[in-house]
Structure 1
Amino acid sequence: MTIATGIGSMPGTDLSEALRIVLDTAGDLPFVPELPARGVHAGMIGRTLALLSGLEADLQPDGWRVGVGEGGDVRRARSLLAQDLDVAEELAHEHAGPVKIQVTGPLTLAATVERPRGDKMLADHGARREISESLAEGLRAHVADVRRRFGRADVVVQVDEPAIAAVLDGGVPTASGWSRHRSVHPPEADALLRNVVEAIVDGGARPVVHSCAPDVPVELLAGAGFTAISFDLGLARPDDVWAETFEKGVDLWFGVVPSTDAPGVTDQLLASRVRTFLDRFGFGVESHAQRLVVTPTCGLAGGSPQWAGRALQLAAATAERLEG
């Protein structure tokens, strides 16, 4: 059975309302929403920094910085996350089946978060390793907490890596803006990702990776141990690496529903795009339906509240259409 889910973010500031929409539209694979409209504490970076173990963070004028002691902003992020999980537990604790949570991956964290003396953690090999290990250790406790709260559910952890292509290609600007950080080579990127994947698996959860960037490094992500790759179909080139990865058992999550308001889009059109992609490689949709998931192209926080619900409905309708 092909199912649908969301990437993570939703518009608005009312988690209960957002979660009710998720449960009504993506009930086969619900997710705990992120509501960045509540502030940086609730965004993908702040939310993930709240999970780090042994590495404290604080919000500075230039953005999040680690290694400067625990600040009020990260405490706020931790409090919001705990409150959100309380609400999710209250509304969905009886859910049986998969339930998804999201975290920012180590490469995107390194490209976004600053070191104690400034500039990104990406600039230093030791800092990159440190944030990966801190995230992995924090995830062990986080996954255990989520599994306790949703005792009948199978936990899926989506690792968001929107900056991965820029990190690998040396496209992340330095603090001055006049140059770029050196690229992180695939063997090191693999090690940084693998730390996180192993923590997820050790915790009894399923690791999935999402990137809405072009040129998703499919082979690298599959090699790091992710069991599914979530991607923006409109940005993906139909290279053979997709077919080879799918044949090796890595599932594909197709981001086809626009993440911002797009009147006139139909589930028929979206389903045809998925079929066209798979047909290029000779994969019949019906025979692989249980390995496909339909999603929006990215988070829905940039759309209207009405579109967020409509987008998830479209994803579910597209998934249903692919089965037939």
Structure 2
Amino acid sequence: MTTLPAGTTGIGSLPGTDPSEAMRVAFGENLDIAFMAELPARGPGADIIGRASGVLVDLYVDRTVSGWRIVPRAGLDWRRTKDLWARDLDALQVAADGYDGPLKIQVAGPWTLTASVELASGHRIQTDHGALRDVHESLSEGIAGLVTEVAARCPQAQLIVQLDEPSLPAVLAGDLPTASGFGRLDPIDEPTLEQGLARTISTIGVPVLVHSCAPKPPLVMLKRAGATGVAIDLALVTEAQYDELGEALDGDFVLYGGVFGVAEVGPKTIDRTAQRIRRLARHIGMSGEGVRTQLGLSTACGLTGMPMERAIERLQALNTLAAQLQDNPEEDEER
């Protein structure tokens, strides 16, 4: 039995700037896994890198002209980020009062954070092995502390951490630009990536789901690193990934398929998506029972820029799609 449930959930970000409203939505749409809503529209400190920087232990990060940078002492941006976290945690506690199901919280993973934050010198953290290790350890400790705090505020919930790693394929491929922008950083090999993720995952201490909205995330490596599932945008999955996807799903690993992006969602869209998922399951060798127990559904990235009503429509459509797949998980091969 897997320690990560397969069901419906949001990927994290929602529109607007009101954490109380967003948390009510994240808990109020009958999703199988409630989630801690994120509101990037609030600006720096509410974005993926700013939020992760706010949980670092004994390290401080502030905004510069070129982005986020390690600084020697806390500044205004760091204090603003901590204030946003405090507001979000208060809103989460109110929305989760009495909730006793799975609850997911999202934070940028170690490789995406260090790919996006600069050293005081202006170079990327990835270029300094000592700094890289220190930031990874600080983030791991900070996420573990965040889990402890959420557990104290939501004592009946079963916590899950989602590590957001959109930069992971670029780190692996050597596609990250240097500080000057004229070159590319050396790639980091897969064993080193795996070791870094494994250290973070083992420190967190609860089931970890890794989310990447970039093409071709290293799925089998994520499984080896200790993740119990992966969340990817199904629109980006190609035939070349079928074998790797099938290998990753051999066992208790759970795939969360991101669906319903910015396009309109209606009954026909839901039907087409269900058929596309059944076809994918057949191609990777997933049985009907596997669709029921190892395939979760999430919204795709990109909900931040739409009205809240449209975001809610997508969350509700997940439940409709999930019901279709539960009732009829296998593709009709006559089609």
Q: Which amino acid aligns with 1:64?
A: W
Indicate the residue corresponding to 2:233 in structure 1: 232
Q: Cα deviation per residue 1:40-83 (whole Å; 9 max; x = unaligned)?
A: 11111111111001211112221111143211111111111111
1:295 partnered with 2:268: no
CA distance in 2, matches of 1:271, 1:286: 15
Could you tell me which of 264, 271, 288 is aligned with 1:262? 264
Q: Cα deviation per residue 1:219-274 (whole Å; 9 max; x = unaligned)?
A: 1111110000100111122421111111132111011221x243556221111121
SS of alignment partner, residue 266 of structure 1 = helix
Indicate the residue corresponding to 2:330 in structure 1: none
TM-score by length of 1: 0.94
Indicate the residue corresponding to 1:317 in structure 2: 320
CA distance in 2, matches of 1:317, 1:199: 36
Indicate the residue corresponding to 1:307 in structure 2: 310
Indicate the residue corresponding to 1:214 in structure 2: 215
Could you tell me which of 241, 244, 247 is aligned with 2:244? 241
Aligned length: 320
Maintained 8 Å contact 1:6/1:26: no
Q: Could you tell me how far 1:87 is from its partner in structure 2?
A: 1.0
Maintained 8 Å contact 1:8/1:300: no
Q: Could you tell me how far 1:119 is from its partner in structure 2?
A: 2.0
1:189 partnered with 2:193: yes
Greater mean alpha carbon deviation, residues 38-47 or residues 285-294: 285-294
Maintained 8 Å contact 2:265/2:313: no
Q: Could you tell me how far 1:17 is from its partner in structure 2?
A: 1.4
| Long gaps (5+) in structure 1 | none
Closer/same/farther in 2, CA of residues 181 and 44 from structure 1, 3 Å limit: same
Q: How does 1:4-19 map to 2 (within 5 A)?
A: 4-19=8-23
Greater mean alpha carbon deviation, residues 180-189 or residues 261-270: 261-270
Indicate the residue corresponding to 2:224 in structure 1: 223
CA distance in 2, matches of 1:145, 1:284: 39
1:82 partnered with 2:83: no
Could you tell me which of 38, 42, 45 is aligned with 2:42? 38
CA RMSD of aligned residues (A): 1.6
Q: Which amino acid aligns with 1:123?
A: T
Greater mean alpha carbon deviation, residues 46-55 or residues 289-298: 289-298
CA distance in 2, matches of 1:164, 1:143: 23
SS of alignment partner, residue 249 of structure 2 = helix
Indicate the residue corresponding to 1:72 in structure 2: 76
Indicate the residue corresponding to 1:107 in structure 2: 111
CA distance in 2, matches of 1:93, 1:290: 28
Maintained 8 Å contact 1:136/1:199: yes
Q: Cα deviation per residue 1:185-235 (whole Å; 9 max; x = unaligned)?
A: 11111121112101122xxx2111000110111111111100001001111
Maintained 8 Å contact 2:115/2:171: yes
Indicate the residue corresponding to 2:255 in structure 1: 252
Maintained 8 Å contact 2:265/2:317: no
SS of alignment partner, residue 53 of structure 1 = coil
Q: Could you tell me how far 1:24 is from its partner in structure 2?
A: 2.2
Q: Cα deviation per residue 1:115-158 (whole Å; 9 max; x = unaligned)?
A: 01102112222222121111011112111001111111100100
**Percent identity of equivalent pairs:** 38
CA distance in 1, matches of 2:199, 2:278: 34
Maintained 8 Å contact 1:58/1:68: no
Maintained 8 Å contact 2:19/2:87: no
CA distance in 1, matches of 2:199, 2:300: 27
Q: Cα deviation per residue 1:248-303 (whole Å; 9 max; x = unaligned)?
A: 32111011221x24355622111112111111133223454132210122242133
| Long gaps (5+) in structure 2 | 328-335
SS of alignment partner, residue 41 of structure 1 = coil
Q: Could you tell me how far 1:304 is from its partner in structure 2?
A: 2.7
Q: Stretches of 4+ moved more than 6 A in 1? A: none
Greater mean alpha carbon deviation, residues 297-306 or residues 241-250: 297-306
Q: Which amino acid aligns with 1:180?
A: R
Greater mean alpha carbon deviation, residues 57-66 or residues 261-270: 261-270
Maintained 8 Å contact 1:48/1:103: yes
SS of alignment partner, residue 162 of structure 2 = strand
CA distance in 2, matches of 1:315, 1:120: 38
SS of alignment partner, residue 138 of structure 1 = helix
1:176 partnered with 2:177: no
